Amino acid sequence: MQTILVTGGAGFIGSNFIAYYLAKNNNCTIVNLDKLTYAADIKNLREVDNNASYKFIHGDICDKQLLINIFKEYKFKGIIHFAAESHVDNSIENPSEFINTNIVGTHNLLEVAKLFWIDNPETSNKQNRFLHVSTDEVYGSLKETGFFTENTPYAPNSPYSASKAASDFLVRSYHHTFRLNVVTTNCSNNFGPKQHDEKLIPTVIRKALNNEKIPIYGTGKNVRDWLYVEDHCKAIDLVYQNGKSGETYIIGANNEYTNLKIADMVCEILDANLTKEESYKKQISFVEDRLGHDFRYAIDATKIKNELGWKPMQNFKESLEKTVFWYLNKYRN
């Protein structure tokens, strides 16, 4: 029986991951450490709340003593680290929390993992693994062509991506210097159930249903590579189980769409399923662009496909439809 620490498991991807992982593995316990910031929703965890293999701890990864206490108590065999401030717009308004959680918090986790897994002869175990979840935004912005690979030089453009880049480098350094068993994943934009209302797809649906303008930044031409969250969870699981220590794997599903196209497709699903005289697309309205808005992200996921046999299993249109229905259910109840 293994006990794994998941950080930030009350957020979007973490909560999907916990449900996925516990459904698949009956030989592990997950301890979810989450500060419950505005971005968390404890209801995201309803389906695992009564699972004897799941435990929730309300706490902050910046609290090093708390980390030491829970490491002592649970003797973790692994960490899957999702906890972060994750919304680029907030990092432009107020970067400080991004520095605290994304950099200082990640450093605390690395320090405590090193303390228990490397330094202390009674608890040391080089098999114990630290998986760091990061973003493709650390690579900066692409023009119309080309793809990010694991070898693309870092060029973060927002305080959010800069803080994630710093955390990636810290993780890398703890492997290189202390031989901590780490793996890092850098994924593209996720979509799916349980995402916070502030993100693009939930915003389009919410505004559409409220008969409000659907805000799209600039001209709506910015391109993202959309990854269904369940495919991402499978990729994280594979990297955690079989990834090479010290390596990075970038994850994307080759679903490149502009923000405007995503809004259009969501409106089309709403049009097809709800009764309204005119199309929801009429509510789309362009607003002043985000400062420093990256133009395009796109991923070449050859490494994770070749080395670990991962590939996205979900059809984009079907998973977008599933996602829209999930939010319809949420916003109309």
Ligand X SMILES: NC(=O)c1ccc[n+]([C@@H]2O[C@H](COP(=O)([O-])OP(=O)(O)OC[C@H]3O[C@@H](n4cnc5c(N)ncnc54)[C@H](O)[C@@H]3O)[C@@H](O)[C@H]2O)c1
Catalytic machinery residues: 136-137, 160
Scanning 20-28, 71-79, 84-92, 257-265 for contacts with ligand X by CB under 6 A, the matching segment is: 84-92
Told to check if 129 binds ligand X by CB under 6 A, we report no
* Ramachandran angles phi, psi of 269, nearest 5°: -65, -40
The residues facing 148 across adjacent strands are 299
Which among 87, 37, 88, 91 is positioned nearest to 60, based on CA atoms? 37
**Number of residues lying near ligand X (CB under 6 A):** 31
Integer Cα distance of 282 and 286 in angstroms: 12
Q: 232 or 280: whose CB is closer to ligand X? A: 232
Told to check if 156 binds ligand X by CB under 6 A, we report no
Q: Please, are residues 107 and 82 in contact by the beta-carbon 8 Å criterion?
A: no
In one-letter notation, the amino acid at residue 288 is E
Residue nearest to ligand X (CB): 11
SS3 percent helix, strand, coil of the chain, rounded to 5, is 45, 20, 35
Q: 210 by DSSP, 3-state: which?
A: coil
Q: 258 or 279: whose CB is closer to ligand X? A: 258
Told to check if 164 binds ligand X by CB under 6 A, we report yes
Strand 78-81 with 190-191, pairing: unpaired
Q: Tell me which of 4, 5, 6, 39 binds ligand X, using CB under 6 A.
A: 39
Residues of span 173-212 touching ligand X by CB under 6 A:
187, 189-190, 196
* Ramachandran angles phi, psi of 140, nearest 5°: 85, -145
Shortest Å distance, C-beta 279 to ligand X: 27
Q: Tell me which of 30, 35, 162, 259 binds ligand X, using CB under 6 A.
A: 35
Told to check if 62 binds ligand X by CB under 6 A, we report yes
Told to check if 36 binds ligand X by CB under 6 A, we report yes
Q: Tell me which of 7, 106, 157, 222 binds ligand X, using CB under 6 A.
A: 7
The residues facing 168 across adjacent strands are none
Told to check if 11 binds ligand X by CB under 6 A, we report yes
99 contact partners, CB below 8 Å, separation of at least 6: 159, 163
Scanning 28-36, 171-179, 240-248, 258-266 for contacts with ligand X by CB under 6 A, the matching segment is: 28-36
Told to check if 82 binds ligand X by CB under 6 A, we report yes
Integer Cα distance of 245 and 255 in angstroms: 29
Secondary structure (DSSP) of 32-90: EEE---TT--GGGGTTTTT-TTEEEEE--TT-HHHHHHHHHHH--SEEEE------HHH
| Four-CA torsion 106, 111, 117, 120, nearest 10 degrees | -170
Told to check if 240 binds ligand X by CB under 6 A, we report no
x/- mask, ligand X, residues 85-124, rule CB under 6 A, reads: xx--------------x---x-------------------
Scanning 3-11, 114-122, 271-279, 282-290 for contacts with ligand X by CB under 6 A, the matching segment is: 3-11
Told to check if 223 binds ligand X by CB under 6 A, we report no
Scanning 54-62, 144-152, 214-222, 321-329 for contacts with ligand X by CB under 6 A, the matching segment is: 54-62
Site residues for ligand X per CB under 6 A: 7-8, 10-14, 33-37, 39-40, 60-62, 82-86, 101, 105, 133, 135, 164, 187, 189-190, 196
